[in-house]
A and B are shown apart, each in its own frame.
Chain A
Amino acid sequence: MKRVFFIPFAFVVSMASAQTLRIGLAEDPDILDPSMARTFVGRIVFAGLCDKLFDLDEKLNIVPQLATSYQWSPDNKSLTIKLRGGVTFHDGEKMDAQAVKYNLERHKNMKGSNRRGELAVVSSVDAVDASTVRINLAAPFAPLLAVLTDRSGMMVSPKAAEAASDKFGAKPVCSGPFRFVERIAQDRIVLERFPNYWDKGQIHFERIVYQPIVDATVRLANLRSGQLDFIERMAPSDVPQLRNDGRFKIAKIVEIGYQGITINVGKSDVAQKNPLGKDPRVREALELSLDRDAIVKVAMEGEAQPGNQWVAPSNRFYGKGAPIPRRNVERAKQLLKEAGVPNPSFTLMTPTTSDAQRIAQIVQAMAKEAGFDVKIQSTEFATSLNLADKGQFEAYVLAWSGRADPDGNLHTMLACKGPTNYAGYCKEDVEALINESRTSLDAARRAAAYDKIAQAVQKDRPIIYLYHRNWLWAHNAKLTGLRTVPDGMVRVQGLRMN
């Protein structure tokens, strides 16, 4: 009897999977409005829903999506973009220069927009003709193209946005390959194929269902039982068991973000009360007590690339003048002796995620060998952010999901007035170099500036960068056409179930 009951169920599942791509997400996305959205996981859903002016390829090159080409003005203070013709939004409205102008102004001016900061340098937008738009800047801004490969480059239907106002995120209307059907909070987001998509030849599913499943073990169990076709961010510890299972494939790529320890060097008076915040020699000793390879091996089961800067060593903007220092406990002890604190003590604030907890414990054990007494303070994430913002911490295990341009990983944390400069770091020469790196469009000049910044930051150590995680995806072996792009987004174009 049992078989009779369950066979039709299995049949329904396999029928549905022929047309539907079911993706398991690690969290429930926030608002589905590109202007207001703020989570990494939300961007994964946007990849199916909203096209952008530009996109990234596997090598982090900027490639056109809704744009076809671009041209900088001679003074680098305006960017002219040619738009793809014949593109429509999901409600049938035209995606033209007026729509782009509307969207960029909305990102910049809408109350509650989280895009305001990255578009701060945009002074005005002109619709030159139906398919040409010009973005005028207050000053040259090299990261602009990279910014337009993310939510700031996503275009929504002006008509729908006007009608829905700040409720737009409840029923978003974009121009991506799939259109919004329904969302049940904490359960699923359903998209269906948009028949008028400009690149419809690349779309091979009728529907996509995104299901947030927070627990990595349960997410994997859903993949293995056939309920899901694809899961993002699988746990590194699950890699070995899945590797030997021919029904599934694992895809991975080094992220554009980083994991590190932010040290309070000037955010509040706490910095001067502790030798770690006060004396660069103590910070150097802490870094020299750490073995990044071992941290990656133990905390991430080898699924990360050790690093010591805001971009991974494989990135073209990695500063080669500041290589990863090797562990040297003797030198660390000597430095502590010179600083007059052979056994410094500090509190390491750590979010309650298992990754962060593991890092803290390993750092505690390694630093102890050099004489440090590290006290771990496990703190719920939102609380830890608040404490960091007020400068009520000594050291903080903090990850950054990363941006395509190195500026997005650097300016906000280490520029004097960066909104997430929790370290309270502010150095005139570094500030000047950061400004140079973001105003020059010459890649070689930018690389040279980053090299100098890396060397300066390595001396001051407001952040001890540890590693860059692998984005780990697992999927049904029959799923082909997956592109592994370091931003961790799941691009649905080209995906096919064979």
Chain B
Amino acid sequence: MLKFLLRRLATIVPTLFFVSILIFGLQQLLPGDPAIALAGEERDPETIRYLREKFHLDEPLPVRYWYWLSGVLHGDLGESVRIQKPVSELILEKLPVTIQLATMAMIIALAIGITAGVISAVKKDTWWDYGANVFALWGLSTPNFWLGILFILLFAVQLGWLPASGYVSPFEDLKANLSAMIMPAFVLGNAIAAVLMRHTRSAMLQVLSSDYVRTARAKGLDERVVVLKHALRNALIPIITLGALEFGTLLSGAVLTEQVFTIPGFGKLIVDAVFNRDYLVVQGVVLFTATVYITLNLLADLAYFVVNPRMRVQ
């Protein structure tokens, strides 16, 4: 296991280096001169010249890449031109919001998705199964943006139960924080739950028809023990992979949901930065989320060892 871990860790450094080149390179393909985008309506030539100089926009690409990379290696991700704040500070400001939203959405998705998937597999071809499938179809085919606005109209405007949008820190007021986060978390979780349900169902169906489950049943074990302890544990492997990937995606920002509910997370930050050609913010945030994504993948690989003893032997 240690050898595996070291091997996986060793691949992280070149992967991140490659990612940094990709982020920087792709960003250069964005049409539009950042100096013009940043110079405001007046577009004073003097200001445009100053911005080009300040952000090394006149320098060749490799030189600009080197400026950025050497900053990153020294822990300096640069500064947002648009609002004059260090990128690292912006990331730290948005990170708790994004983590909370992603975690709440994931809890909702896991609770609904795995439960519905297991029930659907165990009660195959019954009304339970059909109901769970309809739910999955609804979750997959409902756009977050639309569902979000409907929720706002129902729960905030009509019923007045929840705030329409906005974010309150949990340290300021936990109740207000949960009231503000529950709708966006549900909207995000709902879509992921549908995907998880479909995967759980097919993995469970496969495992439930395997020999060892038949043996367990033949031994006279309680059906609940067979399903939850023997079958589900094996079926969880693809679900862990999927869950980690989905969680990684959530951590890189849920653009539309954040926009609808005005949640100041990574999604809103990066969209604003792209439209305003705030390059250092885009590069910093994407590099950060890529690192998180790679780390989550590593953790998912490690989780296989925990849930599946056979892998430990291998």
Give A residues with C-beta under 8 Å from B: 2, 5-6, 8-10, 12-13, 28, 30-31, 33, 37-39, 111-114, 116-118, 166-167, 169-170, 183-188, 211-215, 217-218, 221-222, 224-227, 380-383, 385-387, 389, 400-401, 412, 419-420
B262 touches A112 (CB 8 A): no
CB distance from A414 to the nearest CB of B (A): 15
A170 touches B160 (CB 8 A): no
Give the complex CA separation of A412 and B44 in angstroms: 10
Known: A30-B83, A31-B82, A186-B269. A114 touches B40 (CB 8 A): yes
B234 at the interface (CB under 8 A from A): no
B90 at the interface (CB under 8 A from A): yes
A222 touches B85 (CB 8 A): no
Query: Chain B, 34-69, contact with A by CB distance < 8 Å: what is the 0/1 string?
Result: 101111111111110011001000000000000000
Of A184, A187, A385, A412, which one neighbours B42 at CB under 8 angstroms? A412
B179 at the interface (CB under 8 A from A): yes
CB distance from A390 to the nearest CB of B (A): 9
Q: Interface size on B (CB < 8 Å)? A: 55
Known: A6-B161, A117-B42, A211-B262. A30 touches B47 (CB 8 A): no
Of B38, B161, B165, B269, which one neighbours A227 at CB under 8 angstroms? B165
Known: A218-B260, A224-B157, A227-B163. A386 touches B93 (CB 8 A): no
CB distance from A105 to the nearest CB of B (A): 15
B185 at the interface (CB under 8 A from A): no
A112 touches B50 (CB 8 A): yes
Known: A38-B40, A212-B262, A227-B164. A221 touches B157 (CB 8 A): yes
13 contacts between A and B (CB under 8 A): A2-B161, A10-B160, A114-B44, A116-B47, A117-B42, A118-B42, A184-B93, A185-B85, A185-B90, A186-B264, A225-B156, A382-B276, A419-B45
Give the complex CA separation of A38 and B82 in angstroms: 9
Give the complex CA separation of A9 and B261 in angstroms: 18
B44 touches A225 (CB 8 A): no
Of B80, B164, B167, which one neighbours A222 at CB under 8 angstroms? B164
| Nearest B residue (CB) for A117 | B44
CB distance from A421 to the nearest CB of B (A): 10
A419 touches B44 (CB 8 A): yes
B166 touches A227 (CB 8 A): yes
Of A112, A183, A212, A221, which one neighbours B153 at CB under 8 angstroms? A221
A211 touches B39 (CB 8 A): no
B76 at the interface (CB under 8 A from A): no
Give B residues with C-beta under 8 Å from A: 30-34, 36-47, 50-51, 54, 80, 82-85, 90, 93, 149, 152-153, 156-157, 160-167, 173, 175-176, 179, 259-262, 264, 268-269, 272, 275-277
Not counting A9-B163, A184-B264, a sample of 5 additional A-B residue pairs whose C-beta atoms are within 8 angstroms of each other reads: A114-B40, A185-B83, A185-B272, A218-B152, A386-B33
Known: A38-B40, A114-B42, A184-B93. A218 touches B262 (CB 8 A): yes
B277 touches A382 (CB 8 A): yes
Known: A28-B272, A227-B163. A221 touches B152 (CB 8 A): yes
B82 touches A386 (CB 8 A): no
Of B32, B90, B167, B260, which one neighbours A385 at CB under 8 angstroms? B32
Give the complex CA separation of A382 and B157 in angstroms: 35
Most buried by B among A33, A186, A218, A387: A186
A382 touches B32 (CB 8 A): yes
| Nearest B residue (CB) for A32 | B83
Of A166, A222, A389, A401, which one neighbours B33 at CB under 8 angstroms? A389
In the complex, chain A residues whose CB is within 8 Å of the CB of B45: 419
Give the complex CA separation of A118 and B41 in angstroms: 12
In the complex, chain B residues whose CB is within 8 Å of the CB of A118: 42
A385 touches B37 (CB 8 A): yes
The 3 closest A-B pairs by CB, nearest first: A38-B40, A187-B264, A382-B32
In the complex, chain B residues whose CB is within 8 Å of the CB of A400: 41
B41 touches A38 (CB 8 A): yes
B32 touches A31 (CB 8 A): no
In the complex, chain B residues whose CB is within 8 Å of the CB of A184: 93, 264
B41 touches A170 (CB 8 A): no
B163 touches A185 (CB 8 A): no
Of B33, B47, B162, which one neighbours A114 at CB under 8 angstroms? B47
A419 touches B84 (CB 8 A): no
Give the complex CA separation of A225 and B162 in angstroms: 9
